[in-house]
Chain A
């Protein structure tokens, strides 16, 4: 079945370090891909998305590129801040089957000053 796999956390970085969170997916078709972020005590909110191969999603300094050949959607940021500390979820979605989102297990990021 369709699934998403993320690198395990927690990831601990110093402020201004480079961030990569790996995400790979298995899908029978061509889904849209998303990164959601969950700040402590809150619900999930959309960080960025890409809807077709080679699309790059970007927001708040974060970027991810939809790579069909490697079935990947890795999240990157050039210089993290303490305020980026959160749990990050990679997800895929098709238009059929009720448009349900299929999530990875989440990666906790902790940024130290």
Chain B
């Protein structure tokens, strides 16, 4: 079972460049999330989606955009990359409900130089 798949695993960007982090899940989950993980800071929510065509901002959305055209895919777009966006990015998905498990991808390590 593939679960949640993120691509790429690693990427180096120059300041001002843009890129899209891909995330796809094969579990038919309605809920999908993007988090960033910085050392000693835990995971911070960037954007989330409760279904196709519906997205909402999380805690740290500035500098990012998302779309959700299908249940399976939830890409994260970085426009005008900045050094502050150097981080590890995780995509996750789950079914609805407070007590259900969220499944995480392997992460994308992004460095902006």
- Chain A positions within 8 Å of B, measured between CB atoms, are 4, 31-32, 36, 41-46, 49, 51, 89, 93-95, 98-106
Q: Which residue of A lies closest to B50 (CB)?
A: A98
Q: Which of B12-20, B71-79, B100-108 contacts A (4 or more CB under 8 A)?
A: B100-108
Q: Are B48 and A98 in contact (CB under 8 A)?
A: yes
Specify which chain A residues have a CB less than 8 angstroms from the CB of B56 in the assembled complex. Answer: 98
B42 in contact (CB, < 8 A):
yes
- Chain B positions within 8 Å of A, measured between CB atoms, are 4, 31, 33, 35, 40-43, 45, 48-50, 56, 58, 90, 92, 94, 96-102, 104-107
The 5 A-B pairs of least Cβ separation, nearest first, read A43-B104, A95-B98, A105-B42, A51-B99, A103-B42
Given A32-B98, A44-B90, A105 contacting B41 (CB threshold 8 A): yes
Given A43-B107, A95-B96, A89 contacting B42 (CB threshold 8 A): yes
Specify which chain B residues have a CB less than 8 angstroms from the CB of A31 in the assembled complex. Answer: 98
Q: Are A43 and B102 in contact (CB under 8 A)?
A: no
* A99 vs B45: C-alpha distance when bound (angstroms): 12
Partner of A43, one of B48, B100, B101, B105: B105
Q: Are A104 and B90 in contact (CB under 8 A)?
A: no
Q: Are A51 and B98 in contact (CB under 8 A)?
A: yes
* A95 vs B41: C-alpha distance when bound (angstroms): 24
Q: List 19 A-B contacts (CB under 8 A).
A: A32-B99, A36-B104, A43-B90, A44-B92, A46-B102, A51-B99, A95-B97, A98-B50, A98-B56, A99-B94, A99-B97, A100-B58, A101-B43, A101-B92, A103-B42, A105-B40, A105-B41, A105-B42, A106-B42
